[in-house]
Copies of this chain bind each other. A is one copy, B any other.
Amino acid sequence: MTLRRRERIREVLSRRQPDLSLIAEHVHKPHNLSAVLRSCDAVGIGTVHAVNPTGGVPTYNATSASAEKWVDVLVHGSVEGAVTAVRRQGMRVYAAHLSAAAVDYREVDYVVPCALLLGNEREGVTPEAATLADAHVIIPMLGMVQSLNVSVAAAVILFEAQRQRLGAGRYAAPRLSDEEMAAIEERWLLNR
């Protein structure tokens, strides 16, 4: 059983995408952040950045599929801190934000190193975050309702990123180093 579990963990780690991330700006509701983490896990994101000026990590919905065990959350006091952190890793920042410059989320390139920046459902991303982003993306809403739940919007965009990366063969060979994979594997074996 432990051997099978180790194999499963290695398989998942071999598909992790160190150059793909997400920044959640002021997503306060635990079940929303939990659902976002689930989608991140499913597309191979290993590290998420949460902007929370109070400094705490929002608690999660432990009854759901518990993606928080498999996705690391780094908390930043400001969106500038989060953006600086992903830029240091060479990532572009795509903000889900309606502006004159916004494009259909399917028109940007997610195969390059990038991070998706999402605000909370009520207000979207802050003006500061919108200014910091390299591009603004929108999900075309063709009906009467104008917005999607933040976890739904995250999933729709992240699975487009997965689609592009599957097409580019980015899940075909490990992207983490052997050392990184071994370290995470040991940590994950202790989970649950």
Chain A residues in the interface with B (C-beta under 8 A): 8-9, 12, 15, 35, 38-44, 64-67, 69-71, 106, 139-149, 151-152, 155-156, 159-160, 162-163, 166, 171, 188
Contacts and interface: CB of A to CB of B under 8 A. Distances in A.
Contacts of A64: 149
11 contacts: A9-B144, A12-B142, A15-B142, A35-B149, A39-B152, A64-B149, A67-B144, A69-B144, A70-B145, A142-B162, A148-B155
Contact of A143 (B35, B70, B106): B70
B148 A39 contact: yes
Binding site of A, secondary structure by majority: helix, strand, loop or mixed? helix
Contact of A162 (B140, B146, B148): B140
Contacts of A35: 149, 152
A41 B106 CA distance: 19
Nearest to A158: B156
Contacts of A146: 65
Contacts of A160: 159
A188 to B, nearest CB: 8
